Chain A
Amino acid sequence: MFGFFKKSGKTSTPADQQTDAPIEPVAPPPAEQAPIAETAVPPATLDAAPAAAPPAPASQPAVKRSWADRLKAGLARTRNQLGGGLSSLFGRRKIDEDLLEELESTLLMADCGIDATQHLIDQLRTRWKKDRLETADQLQQTLADGLVKMLAPLEQPLDVTTHKPFVIMLAGVNGSGKTTSIGKLAKWYQAQGKSVLLAAGDTFRAAAREQLQTWGERNGVAVIAQESGDPAAVMFDAVNAARARGIDVVLADTAGRLPTQLHLMEEIAKVRRVINKADPSAPHEVLLVLDSNIGQNALMQVKAFDKAIGVTGLVLTKLDGTAKGGVVAAISRQCPKPLRFIGVGEGIDDLQPFKAREFVDALFLPATQNQR
């Protein structure tokens, strides 16, 4: 019986390549993107400032720092666990195998995964031996650098100016935060002066459409939806409507699905094909939304969705909890995809572009500075 596993394995390879072919990440020139990102942050915070005036001293540096602050606040618990744990390890003693083992534990507990953890620890061990590092805090810098180096390739902001309408399709497992992320993304692009259209492609889950419509109302954004029906049809309508209305960015929601549900994976592949039919260059970005609470299964999710719809970017949500999101390191090692955004809070402004150095720095702040 097992005979035809092998054979059909061979026959499926061409199909593999076919689905893989259109994946080619549209590597955006990061240099251009950076200024956009920076100028865009202040308006978003200014929006909120008049409403909740008192806490923010409205000086320029304060506004500039706000994103970093928010990130730090969001990652405070992560830091308590990881950074806090680390700095208590680092300060006190000489480097020995015990310290390395404790470091290994800490990284593992941050969901970094065995592969990435061992890679980092091996790096540390080599540096320790080669450069004759003496005290533990010298290791801290090495570890931070190692992490940044590992995550830096993921830092590729999304450039939505290449097409109009720029169609972004979101996918993910159930409960990863797709619809919530769409709301935040809509706000983010609006703050950059872009017009946004939402497509309610989750026709399966009860009230998913209403959830998106509520978000749409809050943002003053049009939502294309249909009474039940085929998600692909909704997408087709949405892309055409966006073209007719001269919309800049289309955010396409899809129903959550587990990669093991093959029929649903086929369905989402169809959604992608239909978007492509409505606009031959679309979707311009396929974002996979990952819950940072998820462990090593996140890797399987990236692989499975990549196979089905050609993932071009990731969104990591729910980083404001105690979860560390260390699985990004594992992803970077095993199936790197640009990490476009991270979600650090419940607020509508709490979705921000990923910056490897800031992310790692926030993790490494001493525990005493965590109060914010």
Chain B
Amino acid sequence: MLGILEVYPNASVCGPNMLDNLSQRLSRVVKTLRGHARLTEDNIQEALREVRLALLEADVALPVVKDFIAGVKEKAVGQEVISSLTPGQALVGVVHKELTALMGGAHQGLDLAAQPPAVILMAGLQGAGKTTTTGKLGKLLRERMKKKVLAVSTDVYRPAAIAQLQTVAGQAGIEFFPSDVAQKPLDIAKAALDYARRHYFDVLLVDTAGRLAIDEIMMAEIKDLHAGIKPIETLFVVDAMLGQDAVNTARAFNEALPLTGVVLTKLDGDARGGAALSVRQVTGKPLKFAGVGEKLSGLEEFHPERMASRILGMGDILGLVEEARRGVDEEKAKAFAQKLKSGKGFDLNDFKEQIGQMRKMGGMSALMDKLPAQFAQAAGQLQGGMEEKTVGRIEGIINSMTPAERSKPELLKASRKRRIAAGAGVSVQEVNRLLNQFEQTQKMMKQFSKGGMQKMMRSMKGMLPGLR
């Protein structure tokens, strides 16, 4: 047999990025749509195929995709195209709206209106993140809702699962009810419930072992568990990276247990999270929380419209805006805008300021995550983590300049550059590169102050392929 390198000469260099953004895809078919005043069954046929592919690439299950497309078609046909939009954009709008609607309206919180203790049962596949979510939920309940929380693990199968919850509970600052692998899950849960009742706990979190939906014995076990402790909330914990099989799993769990909500985990990964739609569609249960990050504070409310953007590969613009708002010092921003308006040039001080703000917003990588796929792709040639270093270097170079040089970059000639390079520990070429970049930015800023946003966007379109 041939070695893999012979069969695939580029074995270590993986293939092209398949994460094509929906609007990018649509722009390819949009030409055929141009000039139509309204969307009709004929003219959106091909565009809908692109929507279908985009959803499939995002791991939305095929049956769900089919239903969804049929729904969109119904909604879209006959829709007038507003003059400022292309038919493609109009269609994306319809798709996005539908997707958001399907994923549920406003955020739904936990229902704890039971005679205390309110019992919450966690269920899901192996490795979905149940134990971590239990800890996160405990922390949230304790800190934000001021509840007295007890956690118990009924996972008597996986080695050290109970110890894991114990540690996590300790980190979350909630109480842990010890259990033993020799006990039966139902007995453990009942003992914990009894303890919670006698010690006036508000909430009891019951973590369970991961199980396959087709494992009849294990599914019977969790059914018994549910019947025995009568939880007010039964949360289905789902990995956002799940593929087509999400429908089968969700259906099986939904049939076995009266689920009350879904928690989507590992949303900080780069999966498009189509599973969210599949699960929502199959179970009809609200998506209550989203797990992000390793830290126990990483449990957020679920935002349907953001999820819709993400599935479509349109980026989490709202999250970006929020983050930007948090990171940007408003007064500085105002002063900056004023400066631009007054016609004074954009100098290296401003350049450094901008970089500093970008850093505050969680660095380039965090920003990049939230950018729409098309931008992220354009920016994506840089290696992960590299950008952070580059930003640091740029700051270093600017810091090695005198104040006069910073406000008048045209002063910089060969000998000054040499001094700066030595001071920042870089080569003169790098200083030059920075100055080039600065000049480009300066040009952009000039356009910005003259012609406003539109002109700038147009010039950016030239720089970024596939943007329309």
CB–CB A5/B381 < 8 A: yes
CA of A175 to CA of B164 in the docked complex: distance in angstroms?
13
B382 touches A9 (CB 8 A): yes
B337 in the interface (beta carbon within 8 A): no
Q: Is B71 in the interface zone, CB < 8 Å from A?
A: no
- Is there contact, CB below 8 Å, between B244 and A297? no
Asked if A210 and B126 sit within 8 Å, CB to CB, the answer is no
Contact of B159 among A152, A211, A306, A308 (CB under 8 A): A211
- Nearest-CB distance from B304 to chain A (Å)? 20
CA distance A131 to B402 in the complex (A): 77
Establish whether residues A6 and B381, one from each chain, have CB atoms under 8 Å apart when the complex forms: yes
Among A27, A111, A258, find the residue whose CB has the most chain B CB atoms closer than 10 A: A258
B127 touching A207, Cβ below 8 Å: no
- On whether A173 and B266 interact (CB within 8 A), knowing A27-B5, A153-B7, A293-B239, the answer reads yes
Contact A11 B369 (CB under 8 A): no
Q: A303 an interface residue at 8 Å Cβ cutoff?
A: yes
A31 (CB) vs chain B CBs: closest residue: B1
Nearest to B273 among chain A residues (CB) is: A297
- Cα–Cα, bound, A208→B8 (Å): 37
Q: In B381-397, which residues have CB < 8 Å from any A CB? A: 381-388, 390, 394
- Check if A297 sits within 8 Å of B241, measured CB to CB: yes
Is the pair A336, B4 in contact by a Cβ cutoff of 8 Å? yes
Question: At the interface with chain A, which of B55-63, B72-80, B280-288?
Answer: B55-63
CB–CB A8/B61 < 8 A: no
Whether B212 contacts A321 by the Cβ 8 Å rule is yes
Q: Which of A156, A173, A175, A214 contacts B4 (CB 8 A)?
A: A156
Residue A146 at the chain B interface, CB threshold 8 Å: no
Interface residue tally of chain B, by bracket? 35 or more
In the complex, B245 has a CB within 8 A of chain A: yes
Checking A12, A204, A211, A323 against B243 with a beta-carbon cut-off of 8 angstroms, the contacting residue is A323
Residues of B within 8 A of A210 (CB): 159-160, 163-164
- The reply to whether B212 and A333 form a contact with Cβ atoms under 8 Å apart is no
| A262→B159 CA distance, assembly (Å) | 29
B161 lies within 8 A of A259 (CB): no
B-binding segment of A15-23, A42-50, A231-239, A362-370: A15-23
When C-beta atoms are compared, the residue in chain A nearest to B1 turns out to be: A30
Q: Interface 1/0s, chain B 1-31, versus A by CB < 8 A?
A: 1111101100111111011000000000000
Q: Looking at the assembled complex, report how far the CB atom of A171 sits from the nearest CB atom of chain B, in whole angstroms.
A: 14
Q: Report if A307 contacts B (CB, 8 A).
A: yes
Given A153-B7, A306-B14, A307-B384, do A177 and B271 touch, yes or no (CB 8 Å)? Answer: no
Stretch of B81-89, B406-414, B434-442 with 4 or more beta carbons under 8 angstroms from chain A: B434-442
CA distance A229 to B15 in the complex (A): 37
**Structural contact, B381 and A334, CB atoms closer than 8 A:** no
Contact partner, A295, options B243, B385, B464, Cβ 8 Å? B243
* A residues less than 8 Å from B11 (CB atoms): 25, 335-337
Interface size classification for chain A:
35 or more
Chain A residues touching B, majority SS:
helix
| Residue A93 interfacial (CB < 8 Å) | no
Closest residue of chain A to B354 (Cβ to Cβ) is A1
The answer to whether residues A322 and B12 also contact, given A5-B382, A9-B381, A294-B239 and a CB cut-off of 8 A, is no
Contact pick for A3, options B62, B160, B440, CB 8 Å: B440
State A347–B189 Cα separation when bound (angstroms): 26
Is B379 within 8 A of A321, CB to CB? no
Closest Cβ neighbor of B460 among chain A residues: A2
Closest Cβ of chain A to B156, distance in Å, is: 13
Complex Cα distance, B163 from A302, in Å, reads: 31
Residue among B12, B19, B378, B444 with the highest chain A CB neighbour number at 10 A: B12
Complex Cα spacing A15 to B275, Å: 35
B248 contacts chain A at the CB level, 8 A cutoff: yes
- Determine whether the beta carbon of A16 is less than 8 Å from that of B383: yes
A251 within 8 Å of B by Cβ?
no
Interface residues of A in 276-332 (CB under 8 A from B): 291, 293-300, 302-304, 306-308, 310, 318, 320-324, 327
Please provide the 6 A-B residue pairs with the shortest distance between their CB atoms, ordered closest to farther: A175-B127, A295-B243, A335-B14, A206-B167, A295-B59, A214-B159
Selected A-B contacts with CB under 8 Å, 18 pairs: A3-B440, A12-B386, A20-B12, A175-B129, A206-B168, A207-B161, A258-B266, A260-B369, A261-B293, A294-B271, A295-B246, A296-B271, A297-B269, A298-B241, A300-B271, A304-B384, A322-B212, A327-B243
**A residues within 8 Å of B by Cβ?**
1-9, 11-12, 15-16, 20, 23-25, 27, 30, 77, 81, 105, 108-111, 113-115, 152-156, 173-177, 180, 204-208, 210-211, 213-215, 258-262, 264-266, 291, 293-300, 302-304, 306-308, 310, 318, 320-324, 327, 333-338
